[in-house]
Structure 1
Amino acid sequence: MATSKVLGYLESRKNLTGGACGLLGLVLTFTGVAGPYWPVVVAGLYGAGALIAPPERPAPPTFPDPSAQLDAVREDFAKLGGYLADVDLPPALGTRLTELTGLLAALLEPGWVAEVLAQAPEGVHTLSRAVRQDVPEAVDTFVRTRWWTRLTPGTEPPEHHLERQLTVLHEEAERLASVLRDAEARRQESHTRYLEDRSQ
């Protein structure tokens, strides 16, 4: 621990700046300017250099960029697909879930779609939340509630809630796709205006 602190100081800006100023003191000594007080001059210049050196600052933490985040979401989406394949859903709900996962898969498709999505951090967050939280929780609560409903018939069917949840999630994914489409449309319009202005 102490050794690392010493090594850290030796590599610090304060020591390097002080050392450069101390070398200037030695130059003054060899040219005869410092005279008999050269140790004080060298030490003083070293200290002054160490004091004026900019302080060390810790490096800011690095976080994965949106593209790397999307790679992680894709991996989790594959896990989600394995989980959903083992869940027994009524045909209508299975179709609704397939529509949702198909839309999520299209949004997570590597390539230019992912490049557009990577420029929209909120969109990455929306997809991440849907894959890692919303869809698995909706399906899992349906499975557990359906088991209890069999023990207590006459209550509201859990299928109604799952259908509503999947509808909301599908609408949310459609809104995200619409935002991305609009962004590309604006980009196309901007390029058209640029070309038209250039030709004038």
Structure 2
Amino acid sequence: MATSRAALRYLESRKNLTGSACGLLGLVLTFTEVAGPYWPVVVCGLYGAGALIAPPERPALPEFPDPSAQLEAVRADFERLGGYLADVELPTAAAERLTALTDLLGALLAPGWVAEVLAADPEGVHAVSRTVRQDIPEAVDAFVRTRWWHRMAPGQEAPESPLERQLTLLHEEAERLAAGLREIEARRQESHTRYLEDRGGGLSA
């Protein structure tokens, strides 16, 4: 079966098609009596030469999801994260910081032109994906586990303090990402202004 597929691939390959075209030329030379009695050698030689000069087969590139599809997957995971967070009881301060963070992430992921700008930034998509899929779940789960130990053996640092710090850092990171996306739009606006100015200058000349 594998041999049959390999043979079929070769029959459809550039090498065979080019070699066959050159071999056909050899047959034409034979019928016009140019090749003479050595026509089998001419035909085989032309076929071999054609197969050698044919461009090599190029394997098809692997298909990866485009940035928009990646962002759609992150959006779905963000919704699942919201369901998880709804079942976790957090202290007021930590809950407020988490809400601020998830509100900002939700605004970045919401379908629309903002998400389109984000989708065009692979590093930004990666950063949001990491925050949604790794950083927030890890921070909250670590708090839940540490809180149990703190209740069993009080006297250590309150577990909400590290959680609040982690959520603050994540929010600052998300704000930097949002600022970067805003800068992209600002540069786009400036570029369009310069284009219009240059176009106007050309018309006035």
2:41 and 2:80 map into 1 onto residues whose CA distance is: 69
Q: Report how far residue 136 of structure 1 moved.
A: 0.5
Q: Partner letter of residue 42 of structure 1? A: V
Q: Report how far residue 192 of structure 1 moved.
A: 1.0
1:28 and 1:161 map into 2 onto residues whose CA distance is: 85
2:166 and 2:110 map into 1 onto residues whose CA distance is: 24
Q: Tell me, yes or no, if structure 1 residue 89 matches structure 2 residue 77.
A: no
Residues 150-189 of structure 1 show CA distances to partners (whole Å, capped at 9, x for unaligned) of 1110000110000000000000000000000011011111
Map 1:1-200 onto structure 2 (within 5 A).
Answer: 1-200=2-201
1:90 and 1:56 map into 2 onto residues whose CA distance is: 62
Q: Report how far residue 103 of structure 1 moved.
A: 0.3
1:190 and 1:47 map into 2 onto residues whose CA distance is: 56
Q: Partner letter of residue 163 of structure 2? A: L
1:151 and 1:73 map into 2 onto residues whose CA distance is: 37
1:196 and 1:4 map into 2 onto residues whose CA distance is: 61
2:191 and 2:52 map into 1 onto residues whose CA distance is: 52
Q: Report how far residue 60 of structure 1 moved.
A: 2.2
2:40 and 2:176 map into 1 onto residues whose CA distance is: 73
Residues 17-40 of structure 1 show CA distances to partners (whole Å, capped at 9, x for unaligned) of 101101111111111111222111
Residues 3-22 of structure 1 show CA distances to partners (whole Å, capped at 9, x for unaligned) of 11111111111111101101
Q: Partner letter of residue 31 of structure 2? A: F
2:58 and 2:192 map into 1 onto residues whose CA distance is: 42
Q: Partner letter of residue 151 of structure 1? A: M
Q: Report how far residue 68 of structure 1 moved.
A: 1.1
SS of residue paired to 1:173 = helix
SS of residue paired to 1:59 = coil
RMSD of Structure 2 on Structure 1 (CA): 0.9
Q: After the TM superposition, which of the residue ranges 177-186 and 88-97 deviates more from structure 2? A: 88-97
Q: Report how far residue 120 of structure 1 moved.
A: 1.2
2:151 and 2:49 map into 1 onto residues whose CA distance is: 82
SS of residue paired to 1:56 = coil
- Total equivalences in the alignment: 200
1:145 and 1:55 map into 2 onto residues whose CA distance is: 60
Q: Partner letter of residue 155 of structure 1? A: Q
Give the TM-score taking structure 2 as reference length: 0.95
2:107 and 2:182 map into 1 onto residues whose CA distance is: 13
Q: Report how far residue 62 of structure 1 moved.
A: 2.3
| Deviation >2 Å, runs of 4+ | none
Percent identical among aligned pairs is 77
